[in-house]
Amino acid sequence: MDLSFWLPLFFAGAMGLALLIYVLLDGYDLGIGMLLPFASEEEKDLMIGSIGPFWDANETWIVLGVGILLIAFPQAHGIVLTALYLPVTIMLMGLILRGVAFDFRVKAGDARKGMWNALFAAGSLIASAAQGWMLGAYITGLSDDTTGLLFSALIAVTLPALYVLLGSAWLLIKTDGALFEKAIRWGRNALLPMGLCLLLVSVATPLVSSVIADKWFTLPNAIGLLPIPLITATAYAGLVWLFNSPVILRSGYGWLIFAALTVICVMASIGLGYSLFPEIIIGRLDLWEAAAATESLLFIFWGTVITLPAILGYTFFIYRVFRGKATALSYD
Amino acid sequence: MELDPFMLARMQFAANISFHILFPTITIGLCWILLYFRVRFTLSGDKAWEYAYSFWVKIFALSFALGVVSGITMSFQFGTNWPGFMERAGNIAGPLLGYEVLTAFFLEASFLGIMLFGKERVSNRLHLIATALVAIGTTFSAFWILSLNSWMQTPAGYRIEDGVFFVESWWQVIFNPSFPYRFFHMLNASLLTAAFLIMGISAWRALKQVDGPATWRVMRTGAAMAAVLAPLQIWIGDLHGLNTLEHQPAKVAAMEGIWETEKGAPLTLFGFPDEEAKTTHFAIKVPKLASLILTHEWDGEVKGLNEFEGATPPVAPVFWAFRVMVGIGVLMLLVGWWATFTLFRQPLESRIEHPWLMRALSAMTFSGWIAVLAGWYVTEIGRQPWIVSGLLRTSEVVADHASATLMGTLLGYVGLYAFLLVSYIAALRYLATKPARSLSLLPQAQRFHKPDQEGV
C-alpha cells in the first residue's frame, strides 16, 4: 500500500468530517446566538442554558479542521489563510465575543447583562457571516474578481440562515412551550434563505470550473450522482412540510428537523468533496502537492486513529449526561 | 523601529500571544487547585472546601473561555501571519499542534461541561474524575505547545532538504534539549500564578469583610504553595538559564548585558543598555558574579554579543524583562514565606487580623501574570532574529499583507483585548465582592438542566 497516496486522502476525509461536524454542532450554537435578540429575558437564559455544556467542545471541531489543514496540507494552509486574511480575522473577533459573552453575561453583574447578551448575538452573527464569506471565496477558487466577491457576499448573507435553522432545530429538541412555538416560527422564516444558500453553493463550483461541470453533467457519472441532489431535495421538501405541520413537531418529533438538516449538510459535503477532488485549492493545488511529508503524516495518523474514536465516544457520553429538556439558568 | 509589514505582523502576533498566555497560565494551575479542593471535600465532607470549589470554578470557567477564544485566534494566525513557517517547518510543527488538539483540547472542552454544570447529573466520583481530566487536559496542552516552542529554540531530530524540515527522530524533536526545563518552569509558573491569584482575591475579601471559612482555607492553600514553589522556581530557572547558555548563548548575553566576551565577567544588576554604543550606561556591577553564576567558576569565560554579529536579539527589552521576572520571583518568595509564617501560626477557624499582609497579598494578585509575560519576552525576543534558532529567520516566513491591513487588524485586536482585559478584572472584582454565604446556605450546583434521573 502506498502511504504517500493514501495518507493525504485519509486526512482530506478527516478534515471534511471535522468541518462537517463543526457546521452541525457550532452551527446550532451560532444560530441560537443570532436568535437571542428575538427572545424574552427568561427565554434568553433558557436558550443559553441549552447550549452551555456543549459549546466549548463544539467550537473545538473548527480547530481540528484547520489543524488538519495545517498538519496535513501546510502548503494549502498558508495559501488559504493568507488569501482569507480579512474574513478570518473578522470571524475570529466574532468567535471571541461570542465565547467570552457566555461567561461574562452571568458573571459581570446584572447591570451589564444586556450588553453581553447583545455582544453574544453580534459575535454569533459576525462569525456566521464571515464563515459564509470564507466558504464562498473558497469554492470560487479564492479569486478576487467582482463575480467572486459578489458570490462570497451572497453566501455571507445566506449561510447564517442555515445556522438559524440549526439553532431552531436544537430548540425544538431541548425546549417546550412558548419557546418551542417561537422556534418553529424562526425556523420557518429561515427556510427560504437557507434554500438559496444551498442552491448557490451547489451551482457555484460547476460554473467556476469546466472540469467540475464535466464531472457532474456527463454520462454515465450524472446518473450515479443523481442520488445526491435527489436526497437533498427530498430532505428540503421534508423540512418545508414539517414546518407547516407543527402538530407533528409538537408530538415529540422535533428532532426530525435536526435530522433533515444533518442529511442536507452531509449531502452538500459529499457533493462539494466530489466536485473538488482531487484538488484542495481549485485550479491551483491538488491534495498530494499540498501534503506534508509522509513520515509526519504517519506519526499523526496513529494519533488520530486512536484519539478520534475516543473523542467521539466521550462527546456522545457528554450529550447523554445532559440529555432532556433544558431549564433556565440558576446561577447562585 | 519602523512599522513595516514585518514589524506589524510581529506586533500583532505578540499582542495575541501575550493576551492568550495570561489565561492558560491561570487555568493550568487553578485546575489542579480545584481538584485539590474537590479531593479535600470528598475525603473530609467539610463543606467549606465545596464552597471554595464552587467559587473558584466560576473564575476558572471565565478564564478558560478567554483562553480558548484567544487560543483559536492563534491557531489561525500561524497561517495568516507566518505562512512560511508552516511551509518550511510544517512537517514538525504540524503533528505537535495536532496532538495538542487531539489529546488536550477536546478532553478539556468536553469534560468542562460536566465540571461546570454536571454536579447534579453525575455522581461525586464522576465529577471528581471530570475535574481531573480537565486538569490533565490543560497540562497535556502545555506539554505539546511547549515542546514545539522549545524545538524552535533548540531544534533537534530534524534534517533539512531544499529549505524544508523533515523529521529524523520524533523522540528528539519532542524531548529537545530545552524542553524539560521550559516545561517545568512554565508549569511551576502557572501554579505560582494561580497561588497568588487565589491568595490575592481571598485577601481582598478579607479586607472587604466579605470572607467566610472557605476564604481562609483557600488563602492557606495558596500560601503553602507559594512558600514551596517560589524557591523551587528559582532553582528550575537557574537550570533553565544554564541550558540556554549552552544552546543559545546570544540570548544569555542579551539578558546579562554582556557586550564583549570576557573571563571573570561582572554581573550587571541594573543599568541602561545602549545598543548603538554597545555599552550599558550607569551600570551597577558585581565583579566576577556573572561568570560564577553562569559557569560556576570565578574566572569562567562568558560569550559577549560581539560573537553573534548580525544575529543578536534586541538587548534592552530582553535585559529589562529578565530583571522584572527575577525581581517578581524574589518578591513572591518573600511574600509567600511571610504569608505562610503568619497564617499557619493561627488556628484554622479564626479570622486573621493582619491588614498589611492582606494588602500585600491583594496587591500581588496578578503578579504571576507580569512575571510570566516578562519571562516569555526574555525567551521569545531573545530568540530573534530567528524563528527556528540558527536555521530559519523570522523575516523569511512572514506573509506579505499590506501595512494598512495589518495596522487596521492590529488596532482591532488591541482594542478588543483591552476591553476584554478590563471586563475580566471587573468581573473578578464583582465576584470577589459578593459576600460569602454561611455554610448552611451552601449553593446548589449551577442548574442548567432538569435532571431526568438520579445520577448517571
With cut-offs at 50, 70 and 90, classify the pLDDT of residue B450: very low
pLDDT the model gives residue B448: 39
Minimal C-alpha gap between B289 and chain A (Å): 46
Q: Does A321 touch chain B (CB under 8 A)?
A: yes
pLDDT the model gives residue A236: 92
* CB nearest A292 (choices: B64, B91, B416): B91
Distance (Å, rounded) from C-alpha B192 to C-alpha A167?
Answer: 42
Decide: helix, strand or coil at residue A109: coil
| Domain A3-321 grouped into CATH 1.20.1630 | yes
* CB nearest A318 (choices: B84, B110, B401): B110
pLDDT the model gives residue A332: 41
* Structure-block grid coordinates of residue A58: 463544539
pLDDT the model gives residue B224: 93
Domains of chain A by residue range: 3-321
Which residues are CB-neighbours of B210 under 8 A, at least 6 positions away? Answer: B432, B433, B434, B435, B436
Distance (Å, rounded) from C-alpha A125 to C-alpha A164?
Answer: 10
Minimal C-alpha gap between A154 and chain B (Å): 23
To test the contact with chain A by mutation, choose from B101, B115, B120 the residue with the greatest count of A C-beta atoms within 10 A, namely B101
Per-residue pLDDT at B454 exceeds 50: no
Distance (Å, rounded) from C-alpha B75 to C-alpha A65?
Answer: 11
Q: What is the residue type of B204?
A: W
pLDDT the model gives residue A285: 85
Q: What is the mean pLDDT of residues A253-281?
A: 88
For the stretch B144-171, pLDDT in tens is 999 999 999 999 989 988 888 998 889 9
Minimal C-alpha gap between A162 and chain B (Å): 23
For the stretch B351-360, pLDDT in tens is 778 889 889 9
Element (H, E) at A64: helix A55-72
With cut-offs at 50, 70 and 90, classify the pLDDT of residue B2: low
pLDDT the model gives residue B437: 59
For the stretch B79-103, pLDDT in tens is 778 888 888 888 888 889 888 888 8
To test the contact with chain A by mutation, choose from B17, B54, B86 the residue with the greatest count of A C-beta atoms within 10 A, namely B86
Per-residue pLDDT at B49 exceeds 70: yes
What is the value of ipTM here, to two decimals?
0.84
Asked if residue B348 lies in contact with residue B212, where contact means CB atoms within 8 angstroms, the answer is: no
User: Among A86-90, B368-372, B383-387, B448-452, which stretch is predicted with the lowest mean pLDDT?
Assistant: B448-452
Q: Euclidean distance between the first and final Cα of chain B, in Å?
A: 60
Per-residue pLDDT at B217 exceeds 70: yes
Q: What is the mean pLDDT of residues B35-56?
A: 89
Domains of chain B by residue range: 5-261+303-434
Element (H, E) at A256: helix A255-276
Per-residue pLDDT at B368 exceeds 50: yes
User: How do B386-388 and A279-281 pair as beta strands?
Assistant: unpaired
Per-residue pLDDT at A331 exceeds 80: no
Q: What is the mean pLDDT of chain A?
A: 87
Largest Cα separation within chain A, whole Å, is 65
For the stretch A49-94, pLDDT in tens is 888 888 888 888 888 888 888 888 888 888 888 888 889 989 999 9
* Structure-block grid coordinates of residue B433: 465582592
**C-beta atoms of B450 and A324 within 8 A:** yes
Per-residue pLDDT at A108 exceeds 80: no
For the stretch B176-204, pLDDT in tens is 999 999 999 999 999 999 999 999 999 99
For the stretch B392-441, pLDDT in tens is 888 888 877 788 888 888 898 899 999 999 999 988 988 888 776 554 44
Which residue does chain B place closest to A299, by CA atoms?
B95
**C-beta atoms of B167 and A300 within 8 A:** no
With cut-offs at 50, 70 and 90, classify the pLDDT of residue B294: confident
Q: What is the mean pLDDT of chain B?
A: 86
Q: What is the residue type of A65?
A: G
Sort B171 into a burial class: Cβ within 10 Å, 0-12 / 13-18 / 19+: exposed
What one-character DSSP code corresponds to residue B396? G
Per-residue pLDDT at B282 exceeds 90: no
For the stretch A172-206, pLDDT in tens is 998 888 888 999 999 999 999 888 888 888 887 78
pLDDT the model gives residue B453: 33
Distance (Å, rounded) from C-alpha B382 to C-alpha B373?
Answer: 13
Distance (Å, rounded) from C-alpha B448 to C-alpha B113?
Answer: 11
To test the contact with chain B by mutation, choose from A107, A311, A331 the residue with the greatest count of B C-beta atoms within 10 A, namely A107
User: How do B301-302 and B279-286 pair as beta strands?
Assistant: unpaired
